[in-house]
Amino acid sequence: MRLVADQGCLVCGTANPIGLQVHFDVEGGHAHAELVLSELFQGWQEVAHGGVVSALLDEAMFYALAEEGWRGMTAEMTVRFLKPVPLGTTLLLTAERVKLHRRLGRATARLCSGDDVLAEASGTFLATAERGPRR
């Protein structure tokens, strides 16, 4: 299943000229995307900025939760940076729904290069009052 992205979103929006324009595939509480980060997202010497890595993990968790029409916003997120995230390399971003309740959702995410886990996150999301447009 492919959710419709909010066109202005920093991570998934295709109309955002300074965004990442990541396209997620979603099915069964899992989200995944392949991407290559350009030098525009550098933090230090050919390594991705930690804020960009955090945004990617956050967005992936949102997609893992949002598949069935549930909509929410990040209430809490923990990120572990395990290895530097290289620029110009194909990366795999995955997320998995852990729990989904009426008011709260929980998910985990990973950013990998080949077999190497570069960063991982867990998050709690608070449901919004309205379901709103699909992202």
Supply the pLDDT for residue 1. Answer: 42
Superfamily of domain 26-127: Hotdog Thioesterase (3.10.129.10)
Instruction: Give the predicted TM-score (pTM) of the model.
Output: 0.89
Strand boundaries in 1-135, DSSP class E: 25-27, 30-36, 42-44, 47-48, 72-81, 90-100, 104-113, 116-127
pLDDT on residue 10: 82
13-56, pLDDT tens digit by residue? Answer: 888 888 888 899 999 999 999 999 999 989 989 999 999 999 99
Domain extents in the chain: 26-127
13 is written with which tokens?
């929006």
pLDDT mean over 1-24:
77
Q: What is the pLDDT of residues 51-77, one digit of tens each?
A: 999 999 999 999 999 877 888 899 999
Q: Are residues 32 and 22 in contact, defined by beta-carbon separation less than 8 angstroms?
A: no
Q: Is the pLDDT of residue 4 over 90?
A: no
Query: H-type helices in the chain, by residue range?
Result: 50-66
> How confident is the prediction for the chain on average, in pLDDT?
89
The residue whose two tokens read 């550098």 is: 42
Cβ pair 93, 57 in contact under 8 A: yes
CA gap 103, 86 in Å, rounded: 36
For residue 93, pLDDT beyond 80? yes
